[in-house]
A and B are shown apart, each in its own frame.
Chain A
Amino acid sequence: MLRPLHPVPPGARTVLGIAFFMLFVAFWAWITLGGHVNRIFLADPLSMLRDGWRLLVEDRFWLDILITIWRVFGGFVLASVIAVPLGIAMGAWKPVEAFLEPFVSFARYLPASAFIPLLILWAGIGELEKLLVILVGSVFQIILIIAVKVGSTRRDLVEAAYTLGATDNGIVKRVIMPANAPEIAETLRLVLGWAWTYVIVAELIGSSSGIGYMIINSQSRLATGQIIFGIIVIGLIGLLSDFAFKALNRWLYPWSLA
């Protein structure tokens, strides 16, 4: 019955996907509502929803959500604006790569979260610091991934363009860039996911607003329902932005999937 690599029909796929969600929530409800864990440490699904509703209606939690979203996109755009041109330059021109690659590879391993104390000293606990955390966390990764993709541009396309009279400049602008545009967009989509992790870490450590701030605030009051609600909100927004990004890529680069 379970044949290796055999595809599953679309309907069954949806049912199976939803089934696990239900199983997960059912297990959560069973251990909490059934009294198998201490309610202080883990809220049940119903109180989570109640807490979440109260957060949204009474505590204006949606403001925190908006602030966090703005930070993620701000940091992400900042990182992209710096990293994409640098990555393309490194991939296209080997001396640039030789110059920057060792440093960027090193900087990639510097943990963004460890920079938070330093960034707070430099930029305070305002918006700039949040943007910088995301920047530090993602800019080096984007540069390296894009440099590798650009560096592996199909040589035969480059050669064909040369035999059609393209200049060195034309090769970069009208072959290397369009050839890699879908993969660059796909890389950015991936990095947007990481940006969500960095922003929450930044908000947990020094902040007076945002989803992360609400979560750390709830911890001191043992409001586990609110914490779980916050985590689920992050997951949902992440999922939505991912869908939107995918749709945008499909719309921008129809030739890559035709």
Chain B
Amino acid sequence: MSKLLIEGVSRTFAGVRGGKPVQALQPVDLAVAANDFITILGPSGCGKSTLLRIVAGLEAPSTGRVLLDGKAVTRPGPDRGMVFQSYTLFPWLTVAENIAFGLRERGMPERERNEIVASYVDLVGLKGFENHWPKQLSGGMQQRTAIARALANDPAILLLDEPFGALDNQTRGLMQELLLGIWERRKKTVLFVTHDIEEAIFMASRVIVMTARPGRIKSDVPVDLPHPRHYTLKTSPEFSTLKARLTEDIRIEAMRTAQTQPA
């Protein structure tokens, strides 16, 4: 049985000031197996973030439904951890308190909480920064904390919306390895949205390519590269072949976006 089932999910936004309604997402069907790492790749504005937000329960689909472990998603919940592109650590809480947020909301006693927090601080390599405020951290460290915060809740699925989009290239590469390393060791069902082709291939066991707005699934590309993956994989011939294919796919969509939408 699939861990996550997306059935005919589409999203149409009401027209602004009596204008025509805008379709952001055409009906999408997707089945995600347990412990799979799936990246959703598409040009900006293709509705990939909308799709992820619908899975998270932050937005309601216009049609269709999302099933997680057979249960319909109606609102956000701790079984779907999310990491956002913007820095969403709570600025009034320290790193450790941020990671403990979900556990605290659940009413977990402090001692148990502290143990879990310590293990996740360790996992994302933030030892020594537990008592820092988010403002004192670099962008990469903030996103590592955000990943730890989402994972500490032990969600059934981890959703990431271009989590490294605001980071510089070097940091981004390191963060990819860190997240992939965690996934290789701990196994988790992951849905990862990105517009970066290399990132999509490097992270995924399956890349879902989306069309330009209104988005729908254009292709579903398995990535049979071996694990554990090392950054040198990005220069291997197999990687380059996949990259060439996806670049072509995405290029067509990006051009369609450029032609149909005003600058």
On A, residues with C-beta under 8 Å from B are: 154, 156-157, 159-167, 170, 174-175, 178-179, 181, 253-256, 258
Closest A residue, CB atoms, query B92 = A178
CB within 8 A of B153: which of A156, A165, A175? A165
Q: Are B105 and A156 in contact (CB under 8 A)?
A: no
Q: A159-B58, A162-B58, A165-B153 are in contact. Are A255 and B91 (CB under 8 A)?
A: yes
Binds A, one of B26-34, B77-85, B201-209: B77-85
A-B residue pair count with CB separations less than 8 angstroms: 77
Q: Are A156 and B84 in contact (CB under 8 A)?
A: yes
Bound: A156/B76 CA distance, A: 13
Bound: A190/B22 CA distance, A: 45
Q: A163-B56, A166-B105, A254-B133 are in contact. Are A157 and B80 (CB under 8 A)?
A: no
Q: Are B77 and A165 in contact (CB under 8 A)?
A: yes
**Most interface-central of B91, B134, B135 (chain A CB within 10 A):** B91
Give, as a whole number of angstroms, the nearest-CB distance from A29 to chain B. 48
Please name all residues of chain A whose beta carbon is closer than 8 Å to the beta carbon of B146 when the two chains form the complex: 160
On B, residues with C-beta under 8 Å from A are: 56-58, 75-78, 80-82, 84, 86, 88, 90-93, 101-102, 104-106, 133-136, 146, 149-150, 153, 159
Please name all residues of chain B whose beta carbon is closer than 8 Å to the beta carbon of A164 when the two chains form the complex: 78, 81, 101-102, 105, 149-150, 153
Give, as a whole number of angstroms, the nearest-CB distance from A177 to chain B. 10
Closest B residue, CB atoms, query A171 = B105
Bound: A175/B150 CA distance, A: 16
Closest A residue, CB atoms, query B76 = A162
Q: A160-B88, A178-B92, A179-B90 are in contact. Are A165 and B136 (CB under 8 A)?
A: no
**Most interface-central of B93, B102, B105, B136 (chain A CB within 10 A):** B105
Q: Are A179 and B88 in contact (CB under 8 A)?
A: no
**Most interface-central of A162, A167, A181, A253 (chain B CB within 10 A):** A162
Bound: A255/B133 CA distance, A: 6
Bound: A178/B93 CA distance, A: 9
Please name all residues of chain B whose beta carbon is closer than 8 Å to the beta carbon of A154 when the two chains form the complex: 88
Please name all residues of chain B whose beta carbon is closer than 8 Å to the beta carbon of A162 when the two chains form the complex: 57-58, 75-77
Bound: A255/B137 CA distance, A: 12
Give, as a whole number of angstroms, the nearest-CB distance from A1 to chain B. 36
Bound: A83/B98 CA distance, A: 30
Give, as a whole number of angstroms, the nearest-CB distance from A180 to chain B. 10
Bound: A3/B91 CA distance, A: 36
Give, as a whole number of angstroms, the nearest-CB distance from B155 to chain A. 8
Q: Are A160 and B84 in contact (CB under 8 A)?
A: yes
Bound: A255/B89 CA distance, A: 12
